[in-house]
Chain A
Amino acid sequence: MTSADQTTNGETAACVTAFESFSKTSGSPDWLKDLRTNGISHFTELGFPKQNQEEWVFTSTKLIQELDFIPALASAGASPDLAPFLFKDLTGPRLVFVDGHLSHGLSELPTLPDGVLITNLASAIETHGDLVKAHLAHYAKTDGSGFSALNTAFIQDGAFVFLPKGRTVDQPIHLIFVATDGDANTINLRNLIVAEENSEAKIIESFCSAGEQAVFTNVVTEIAVAASARVEHCKFQEQNRESFHVATIQAQLERNCHFTSHSISTGSRIARNDINLTMTGEHVECVMNGLYLVGDQQHVDHHTMADHAMPNCDSHEYYHGILGDESRGVFNGKIFVREDAQKTDAKQSSRAILMSDKATLNAKPQLEIYADDVKCTHGATVGQLNNEAIFYCRSRGIDEADARRLLTHAFAGEVIERISIPAVREHLEKIIWDRLEELIED
């Protein structure tokens, strides 16, 4: 064993110990136990990501490691006030997870179309074991990073959404993940969304904090979108600014499907989002739309990937960032166009506004193109607000501060506009406007 492995062992010890007691107590099917064991062994090997790894150069996980790892393995029965996290006018299905475990009391499940399942993973494993087994951990790589390995080791609960062939859930499905202050400090969540052929749904994941403590949320969401299905996925993260948030969204997109991913990130001390879309069929249309808005010493990192494995697919990506104070942003957008993926249309645009001299952004588009008949464009800008536009506003009677406000709102608004659910747009606009006010005033 090399010395590097030794240090890894030191860092991972708390997690391994926690895993040992966790695996003794949970009575799960063997396939799941195997999955978890596979997870912990990858984790022991990989450890927490380090800055000498290409994907983590700009994001340090030191603060996360310093948090003693105390996973919330069982529900502590907390029942936080949900009011601030509910979206007005959103009355569809709602699952609420408190510290990583479903709260039946806070959840709301109206009658669903035949065969549609909206439930928590823990019960789906019991009631629909084969279905879960056929999909769980089939899309997201367990060894993608130390965090995804750790997530797999502690698979226990999360949301499970299953849309059978041809079914549509009309109302948006709201999944709320609340962290509370308690003895535990680590929340592990595993979500699985399976959309069969021709099905359709809009799904919102909200991550929020009811308390003020530093809690580490480690979440993996796997999404399988079958042929001609339509899924709009909106992730919104507004956890408290002591928190750590690491999330992976892994979507597999089959022929003719439409998939949209929105990622809106305003919270957490450190937030890392990996969003990977793999197109495994032709004529897929997918969008990655993102907005991050941070201040103080917040650190927000988006690593996205559009993997064009098949021909004739479109992927369009738009990321906007607004960074104030001493915050730091990272954007890494990968586009892979594999040899067979002719007639690919891939667009990527990353724009950021720095509201203070001390804010920074590391943006890196990363295009790897192995097919020759493709359309790929990317653009990245980092800067201040457009002075000409400010003057134009002023020349019409709007003062400078209001002009800045108007332009910043518009910049954020461009991303919000792409969300198709009015209730979500309205809620996010309000939160984002408030957050912007904070940043503008500083």
Chain B
Amino acid sequence: MSKQLIEIKNLSANINGKEILKGINLTVNEGEVHAIMGPNGSGKSTLGYVLAGREGYEVTGGEILYRGKDLVEMAPEERAREGLFLAFQYPVEIPGVNNTYFLRAAYNEQRKHRGEEEMDAVDFLAVVREKMKLLELPDAMMKRSVNEGFSGGEKKRNEIFQMAVLDPKLSILDETDSGLDIDALKIVATGVNRLKSPTNASIVITHYQRLLNYIVPDYVHVLFDGRIIKSGGKELALQLEEKGYDWITGKETVAAR
């Protein structure tokens, strides 16, 4: 039996005093891919941020066990060093910080955490080169500041590139497919699939079944109004694509005739 990586139990969370997550239950085991779908504003990104430990997101109930530890108690950087990775829906621009330099700083923090020696710039470049090929990233992007002036698609690709270099245990991809053209989508999906192993796992947040043709999920969950209201296999994504969400949420379909 594969090992449990994260267990989210009855999680509720507030932003600025407003309740957004209202009792989430989700368990992800090693080797699994879980897709989370759901209408705009249902709380998908919030779940990602809560898992990554963003300030201002207050856990008000339930618990999260990550590799047997209480995740809520851990600082964001500790979570990252323990192998949790969030690919942002809106990656942040950091002017003046070189992309390669930034990634090496992050990489070395994680190595230090594991009691390994820091890697110098030359050796790191070798690691980076290999992953750049995987994601077909142009050299020029590595010389620029983190995400600064990157196109929407380039930012997303850069997120997955960081993920490739940092090699996380659990990655949460928040709408990594949005803003990608069809070729970039294939590259990113191929990248994600190649990084997949029996000991890691991912949570893929998306609006489109299209991505799930490439990154095939083991489970699909529907998040609505802060709760997972339906779970199923990959066929659920197809049904959602066809019928929308109303048949599950119970809302009347109001035809715009």
Shortest CB-to-CB span from A347 to chain B, Å, is 16
Interface window among B72-80, B129-137, B223-231, B249-257: B72-80
Flag if B80 contacts A410 (CB, 8 Å): no
- List of 3 A-B pairs having minimum Cβ-Cβ separation, nearest first: A410-B96, A396-B106, A397-B80
A414 to B146, CA, bound (A): 13
Q: Taking the complex as formed, is B113 at the interface, i.e. its CB lies under 8 A from any CB of chain A? A: yes
Flag if B52 contacts A395 (CB, 8 Å): yes
Flag if A411 contacts B96 (CB, 8 Å): yes
A395 to B109, CA, bound (A): 11
Q: List 18 A-B contacts (CB under 8 A).
A: A387-B55, A391-B54, A392-B88, A392-B94, A393-B102, A394-B77, A395-B52, A395-B77, A395-B86, A395-B88, A396-B103, A396-B162, A397-B77, A397-B110, A398-B77, A400-B75, A407-B94, A409-B96
CB 8 Å contact bits of A385-413 with B (1 = contact, 0 = none): 01111011111111110100011011101
Q: Interface centre among B54, B91, B97, by most A CB within 10 Å?
A: B97
Flag if B55 contacts A391 (CB, 8 Å): yes
6 further interface pairs, Cβ-Cβ under 8 Å (given A391-B92, A417-B96): A389-B93, A395-B85, A396-B103, A396-B106, A410-B145, A414-B96
Flag if B96 contacts A413 (CB, 8 Å): yes
Shortest CB-to-CB span from A93 to chain B, Å, is 32
Neighbouring B residues of A400 by C-beta, 8 Å:
75, 77
Neighbouring A residues of B96 by C-beta, 8 Å:
409-411, 413-414, 417
Shortest CB-to-CB span from A414 to chain B, Å, is 4
Neighbouring B residues of A388 by C-beta, 8 Å:
92
Majority-rule SS of A interface residues: helix
Binding site for A on B (CB under 8 A): 52-55, 75-77, 79-81, 85-86, 88, 91-97, 102-103, 105-106, 109-110, 113, 145-146, 162, 166
Neighbouring A residues of B77 by C-beta, 8 Å:
394-395, 397-400
Neighbouring A residues of B110 by C-beta, 8 Å:
397
Neighbouring B residues of A409 by C-beta, 8 Å:
96
Flag if B80 contacts A395 (CB, 8 Å): yes
Pick the residue among B80, B94, B105, B166 that contacts A402 (CB under 8 A): B105
A409 to B102, CA, bound (A): 12
A228 to B12, CA, bound (A): 67
Pick the residue among B80, B93, B113 that contacts A394 (CB under 8 A): B80
Neighbouring B residues of A398 by C-beta, 8 Å:
77, 105-106, 109
A406 to B54, CA, bound (A): 19
A391 to B102, CA, bound (A): 14
| Residue in B closest to A391 when the chains form the complex, CB atoms | B54
Flag if B92 contacts A414 (CB, 8 Å): no
| Residue in B closest to A388 when the chains form the complex, CB atoms | B92
A254 to B162, CA, bound (A): 49
Shortest CB-to-CB span from B52 to chain A, Å, is 5
Neighbouring B residues of A392 by C-beta, 8 Å:
88, 91-92, 94, 146
Flag if A399 contacts B91 (CB, 8 Å): no
| Residue in B closest to A408 when the chains form the complex, CB atoms | B96
A399 to B80, CA, bound (A): 10
A77 to B223, CA, bound (A): 80
CB 8 Å contact bits of A345-371 with B (1 = contact, 0 = none): 000000000000000000000000000
Neighbouring A residues of B97 by C-beta, 8 Å:
406-407, 410
Neighbouring A residues of B54 by C-beta, 8 Å:
391, 395
